[in-house]
Amino acid sequence: MKNTWQETTLTRGDLSLILMPSIGGRLMDVVYKGHSLLFTNPDLKGIHADSVTGELNTFPTRAKHVPFPLWGGEKTWLAPERYWQDKGPIPVLDSAAYHVEWLGAHSVKMTSPKNSDGLVITRMVSLSETVEGQFEIHHQITNEGADVVKVGCWSVMMLQRNAIIAYKQNEASKLETYFGEPANNLQTTGCHGVVICNDDNEFKVGVHPDSSTALAYCPIENTSKGLLLTSFVEALTDAADYAHGNAFEVYNSAAYPYCELEWHGKVRTLAPHDAATLVTTFCVTESDEVAFEMLLS
């Protein structure tokens, strides 16, 4: 199927960000020195949901147990999941077209339509002007409705598999399994918990880590090299401040070759016109598995 998606690209040096405002304001890919990091669903290329409502009645999928389109890329979801409808993210926020505003040569602001509760998602994606390979996503959920709501930002990044994801842990960092049997995909290296996403064993785990920094190593096929993705969020607070009781989650897919690196922002009680925010910063550098393992030890 011909790809008819309209892309918006931010480029600085060796880093390019491929944005899809027409599909839920997504960051659809991160490309560093010609190497792609994020997963795009090949079964949905060229397909559009309704630009106003985000509705998509039928769509080809290999994940029959997932009742919503898995577009790919990185996006902002509402947390907790009780805000979802029909067991999926709200279509008008996840799949409808976002309004685009250029803030400069290296920064774009994308704003969703309102959902039925009056919630609006704003995503500002910016390339660093000073640090090679670094970019920032400013997530915001604004309550433009009449009622008080309790909600938080949830950043979900779909990385191409294979990937190794690591977070810093201490004795109080308890890994929670939401579903699946991930034991064979988990290990501890130094002071880091490690999630190995190299197969189609479907699982999801969550943890309240000891640091607001997480690492993902993504090998480059047919080479001994890889890309290191370092992600940062603002300083973490108590686990109870987050919608799922954890600030960090990892999902590994069975149906498609991807895994998810997920950060949560604190849940806030929003009166009309109030907003909840989350800032995620990512830095891409070249690496190899030996150097990555040294970072963990």
pLDDT in tens, 160-212: 999 999 999 988 889 999 999 999 999 999 999 999 999 999 999 999 999 99
Count CB-CB contacts under 10 A for residue 105: 11
pLDDT in tens, 33-89: 999 999 999 999 999 999 999 999 999 999 999 999 999 999 999 999 888 877 899
Q: What is the CA radius of gyration of the chain?
A: 18
pLDDT at residue 3 in the model: 52
DSSP 8-state code for residue 49: -
Contact indicator for 58, 64 with CB cutoff of 8 Å: no
| pTM score of the predicted model | 0.97
Count CB-CB contacts under 10 A for residue 296: 18
Burial class (CB in 10 A: 0-12, 13-18, 19+), 221: exposed
